[in-house]
Amino acid sequence: MKKIITLACLFFIAQLRLAAQVTVDPVFPTVTSMVTVYYNAAQGNMALKDFNGTIYMHTGVITNLSTSPTDWKHVPTTWGIADPVGAMTLVSPNLYKKTFTINTFYSVGAGETVLKMAFVFRNQDGSKVGRAADGSDIYYDVSPATAPLLTTLLQPTASLLLTSAGGQIVVKGAASKTATLTLLDNGNQVAGANGLSLDYTLTAGAAGLHRVDFIAVAGSESDTSSFNYLVPSPIATEALPGGSQLGITYLTGQSVRLVLYAPGKQVVHVIGDFNDWLPAADYQMKRTPDGSTWWLDLTGLNAGQIYRFQYLVDGALRIADPLSTLVLDAGNDPFISASTYPNLPAYPTGKTSGTVSVLQTDQPAFNWQASNYQRPKKTDLVIYELLVRDFVAAHDFQTVLDSLDYLEKLGVNAIELMPVNEFDGNISWGYNPAFHKALDKYYGTAESLKRLIDACHQRNIAVILDVVFNQASGSSPLAQLYWDATLNRPAANNPWLNPVAKHDYNVFNDFNHESQATKAYVKNCLEYWQSAFRFDGFRFDLSKGFTQKNTLGSVSSWGQYDASRIAILKDYANALWGTDASTYVILEHFADNSEEKELAEYGMMLWGNMHGAYKDVALGFSPTPDLSGVSYKQRGWNVPNLIGYFESHDEERIGYECKAFGNSVSATYNVKWLPVYTRRIELLNNLFYPVPGPKMLWQFGELAYDFSIRQCQNGSLSDNCRTDPKPIRWDYYSDPYRRRLYDITAALLYLRENYDVFETTDFQLSLGNGNGRSIRLNSSGMNVHVVANIAVTQQTVTANFQHTGTWYEYYSGTTKEVTNLNEAITLAPGDYRLYTDQFVALPTGLNTTPLVEIAGLLSGLEVYPNPSTDLFYVDFAVDKTTEVRIEVRDMTGKNITFSASSTLSAGDQHVEMTTTGWQPGVYFLTVRDGQGAQMTKRLVKM
């Protein structure tokens, strides 16, 4: 049997057959073999090197029933205890052993085939875990009982070695049967033996790539195991040509320049489609005189053709270019549909491993249409924060584009996209970035994103990108290039990443923004998004994390004034403004007010989180929530660069909090009822949007989205499910109470957009305490007065009008003659008025007329499973006690089944129904209440 082995296959075999830190005697065990497993704690990730105590083997098997390499079966050991089953015996310093018979130790039954043994090793409590060098589990093959002649290489275990001419390479090969053994270097025999093993010290040959074959022949059987070693050519030292940038520089239709910053590395090769993924002298990169940067011009390319490539660093590490604009991932790309990303380049399976970069010369230029677009003024901004995945079911840019009519009618003039750069996996909020410059394919193509941005600009809607430069995941090339496997963290010499984070809120690997390498990387990425996609601005996630002050264990110290952090952020802002002076620079900062004030007055905008106070107003328990922090003036700032919000991706949804925890003391005004909490959110909006300064809302907040941020996909609640996909409820727009909230919001945003008084610096707020709250805006053209009752009972509120005379209530269009500036106005619970002293007509198409409350109004109808085979369930909610009837009709309108009317108490309902006797087909299920309200869902019977 002859093995045809590529470099990638060799890598796979080295990892799965024999990791360096685990050996097994016999070398080719079968399921009935008694084996001795040896673990070398000084190999692999070395987490248990020189450990003084008992080491425990944690093990299982991969069988024909396993669904993945992590799906261990028949695990006999127990984690985290002094488990005698897994306790190992010390043989010599750092070398441990355990002897057992495979099938009995793992309790493997008949009919199940063991393919591999799987291992990790630990101390007693599992705080130290020995794994493979890359942090993965360790595997060892189990041979079939009737296996043919097999070979393996005990040394070397790597698929590719880097050495020099004349270097010594210890080769140890083993065969499963007595055989004639031969060792070849590029086809030339260098050693031979008869028996079960061959040991030889190979002297490396001349510069180039060498393939070493270990061949066993026994009668008519043969088998070969192979590895490669690379002898680099002398490194060419040459200055980087002018006009080059890190990453990919397109030169002509037939050539590109690849530039990698990697100081301290020995040699770097480019491998890819153009050289069959094998390192060669012509693809060895040049090094700049300072030893920091590697570069190579690729020529002879076909114009417009897609090429896939990687860097091979020191003959061992394969990485994509850190500044790739498109990468391929064998593990996640198969789950991206052709409708989301048409013509996605295939991963080079069998050629390499790890993430792969893509380049293409002569890419067609995008035909931008929004030629007369002007960005909204910062003071006018109303930003709609949006997670593509949870906004449209297709999770792509094209479908978001199809929703722009909805957003334009609402009146938002900016969309902020949560991170769309390449992140680990497909299902994510995006704050686990692997490539900061590459577009994540789960959301679509670069062209579709450009179409979305262009369409927004044609509607005078700005598009802002959420960027995550406080951290990088472990799959980022920036982490992989300089990684401390022993401590499982960035190495001390990593040019970009701190080995240990400088603050407590770090999740992945913390960037060092005082490093020039980091600054160059960030600016390169920002320039790309700004220029290639015409983003209007950038929201810097966790910008307070850009510090190099070590505040671990002292969160309060983290936010203290930091001159270095301020200088870093000003530098990034200046880089953006140097390209386009009107670019929005937005910080999620939450640092000391003196620092935020300085950054705001430099021209940046900062997030202003008012969730707690506005939530408390919505819930209706207390007259004390202080809303005044929504104003930049209250913070002592001289510029209106505070982006106020009461919901973002990070906060619990206020609709949910009202539904779950709202004040329910009153029998007639229960905040937990949909008709009430939608009005409570209207109240919030009228005490929020009129305050001068940019504002932000979270997607579907305009419809009182009421699923918890903690909701799991199975409907339960858990803190572990914060970033899980959430229900997408476009049907909320058809609910009359939610639609009124949308219309009230749109009416408010129309005022902000069209009347300069909402940008005034002459305003007075009474938002700090008491049941009565007010906002006064003053200008030469118009005055505005908002008065509101935040209580859950009727209140008389003093208005404090700016002047006597005629005022107009905006939503109702009624007039009010004011003769007493301190007039007392009686307001129902949660009620409000917005007065202007100039008449302003409501925009057409909006209905702000108060709804007549319908007892028992239905909401939240769900029918599942759908399609159904026998049983299905109906979930819905009623807001008050009412009679409810459920009926099902077929496509002809014939009544198939119904439930007799029954009186249900307010709250969530769950009904089980059967399809017994129904013919396969489409049916319509309708739920009706006692006042005539109804909801209908389509149901398919299989």
Q: How far is CA 905 from CA 5, 474, 668, 884, in A?
A: 69, 52, 15, 10
Q: Distance between CA atoms of 827 and 786, rounded to whole angstroms?
A: 12
Q: Distance between CA atoms of 698 and 734, rounded to whole angstroms?
A: 19
Q: How far is CA 122 from CA 22, 89, 97, 898, in A?
A: 14, 13, 14, 61
Q: What pLDDT is stored for residue 5 in this prediction?
A: 37
Q: Distance between CA atoms of 709 and 35, rounded to whole angstroms?
A: 50
Averaged pLDDT of the chain: 93
Q: Which of the listed ranges 3-17, 59-73, 410-424, 837-851 does the model predict with the highest average pLDDT?
A: 410-424
Region of poorest pLDDT, from 465-469, 589-593, 720-724, 848-852: 848-852
pLDDT over 90, % of the chain = 82
pLDDT at 920 over 50: yes
Each residue of 401-418: pLDDT tens digit? 999 999 999 999 999 999
Stated as kind and residue range, the H or E segment containing 335 is none
Q: Distance between CA atoms of 625 and 607, rounded to whole angstroms?
A: 19
> At 20, is the pLDDT very low, low, confident or very high (cuts 50, 70, 90)?
low
Q: Which two tokens stand for residue 223?
A: 């088998």
Q: What pLDDT is stored for residue 857 in this prediction?
A: 66
pLDDT at 784 over 90: yes
Q: How far is CA 266 from CA 285, 313, 514, 517, in A?
A: 11, 8, 26, 19
Stated as kind and residue range, the H or E segment containing 312 is strand 306-313
What residues does 711 pair with on adjacent strands? Answer: 717
Task: Compare 736 and 310 and report the one with higher pLDDT.
Answer: 310
Each residue of 180-220: pLDDT tens digit? 999 999 999 999 999 999 999 999 999 999 999 999 999 99
Q: Distance between CA atoms of 322 and 306, rounded to whole angstroms?
A: 18
User: Mean pLDDT over residues 746-763, rounded?
Assistant: 97
On whether the CB atoms of residues 604 and 640 are closer than 8 A, the answer is no
Q: What pLDDT is stored for residue 875 in this prediction?
A: 85
On whether the CB atoms of residues 467 and 526 are closer than 8 A, the answer is yes
Each residue of 310-354: pLDDT tens digit? 999 999 999 999 999 999 999 999 999 999 999 999 999 999 999
Q: Which two tokens stand for residue 378?
A: 């910062």
Q: What pLDDT is stored for residue 6 in this prediction?
A: 39
C-alpha count within 13 angstroms, C-beta hemisphere, residue 586: 28
DSSP 536: -
Each residue of 69-111: pLDDT tens digit? 889 999 999 999 999 999 999 999 999 999 999 999 999 988 8
pLDDT at 4 over 80: no
Q: Distance between CA atoms of 702 and 730, rounded to whole angstroms?
A: 11
Question: Shortest CA distance to 258 belongs to which of 357, 364, 329?
Answer: 357
pLDDT at 12 over 70: no
Question: Shortest CA distance to 874 belongs to which of 847, 838, 910?
Answer: 910
Each residue of 467-522: pLDDT tens digit? 999 999 999 999 999 999 888 899 999 999 999 999 999 999 999 999 999 999 99
User: Mean pLDDT over residues 879-891, rounded?
Assistant: 85
For tokens 């939450």, the residue is: 590
Q: What pLDDT is stored for residue 876 in this prediction?
A: 85
3-state secondary structure 190-235: EEEEEEEEEEEEEECCCCEEEEEEEEEEECCEEEEEEEEEEECCCC
On whether the CB atoms of residues 209 and 280 are closer than 8 A, the answer is yes
Q: What pLDDT is stored for residue 10 in this prediction?
A: 34
Q: Distance between CA atoms of 707 and 716, rounded to whole angstroms?
A: 11
Distance, first Cα to last Cα, the chain: 50
Each residue of 584-612: pLDDT tens digit? 999 999 999 999 999 999 999 999 999 99
Q: E-assigned strands of 612-694?
A: 642-645
> At 852, is the pLDDT very low, low, confident or very high (cuts 50, 70, 90)?
low
Q: Which two tokens stand for residue 493?
A: 């010499």
